[in-house]
Structure 1
Amino acid sequence: MIVRILGEGQYDLEDHALDALNGLDTQIESAIESGDEAMFRTALEGLLAAVRASGTHHDPESLDESDLILPPGDATLEEVRELLGDDGLIPG
């Protein structure tokens, strides 16, 4: 799976890494629903750090399409609210 962090690049992740990411995604959704900026910031930073730690950099010269697109670390709660789908940032 190819995951893009906007403004940063793409990472290759194994499908099993999604389980850990889904927990963080749930925290982001909860923070957005409650308007908890501190919880949102912590969960978003954790999600992006997990992608960086679990993944390997995808070839920047590649034109491969991303399977999943995540907001940058400096995204606001409102910006991420607009990106959320029915399943959060991470489907499944």
Structure 2
Amino acid sequence: MIVRILGEGQLVLEKESLVELNKLDDELMAAVEAGEQSRFDAAMGALLGRVRELGSPLPVEELKPSDFILPSAHSSLDEVRDLLSSDGLIPG
């Protein structure tokens, strides 16, 4: 599966990583809903960090459709709130 982190590029991840990433996404969603900045910062860092750890960068010249798109590490709580769906940032 292909994941884009805005401002960073695309990464290839195994579908099996979705279970772990959805747990991190749930924590991020809870932090956003609670409006807790420090919890949001930690959850956002954990989610993006784990995607970077699990993923392999896709070469820039190999642009492919992304299965989902994550906000940049510099996104604010309000910006992420606007991007959330009922499933969070990661579908499933």
Shared fold (TM-score greater than 0.5)?
yes
Gaps of 5+ in 2: none
1:77 aligned to 2:47?
no
C-alpha distance in 2 between matches for 1:66 and 1:39: 27
Residue 43 in 1 paired to residue 35 in 2?
Answer: no
Q: Tell me, yes or no, if structure 1 residue 23 matches structure 2 residue 23.
A: yes
Counterpart Cα distance in 1 of 2:63 and 2:44? 26
Cα distance in 2 for partners of 1:76, 1:60 equals 26
Q: Distance in 2 between matches of 1:77 and 1:36?
A: 9
Aligned mates of 1:29, 1:64 — CA distance in 2: 27
The residue identity in structure 2 corresponding to 1:80 is V
Using the TM superposition, give the Cα deviation of residue 86 of structure 1 relative to its aligned residue in structure 2, in angstroms.
1.3
User: TM-score with structure 1 length normalisation?
Assistant: 0.97
Structure 1 alignment gaps of length 5 or more: none
Alignment correspondent of 1:66: 66
Count of paired positions: 92
Identity of aligned residues (%): 50
Work out the CA distance in 1 between the residues paired with 2:21 and 2:63: 24
Query: Please, what is the CA RMSD of the aligned residues?
Result: 0.6
- The list of structure 1 runs, each at least 4 consecutive aligned residues, that deviate by more than 6 angstroms after superposition, is none
> Could you say which residue in structure 1 is the equivalent of 2:5?
5
- Shift of residue 63 of structure 1? 2.5
- The aligned amino acid for 1:61 is E
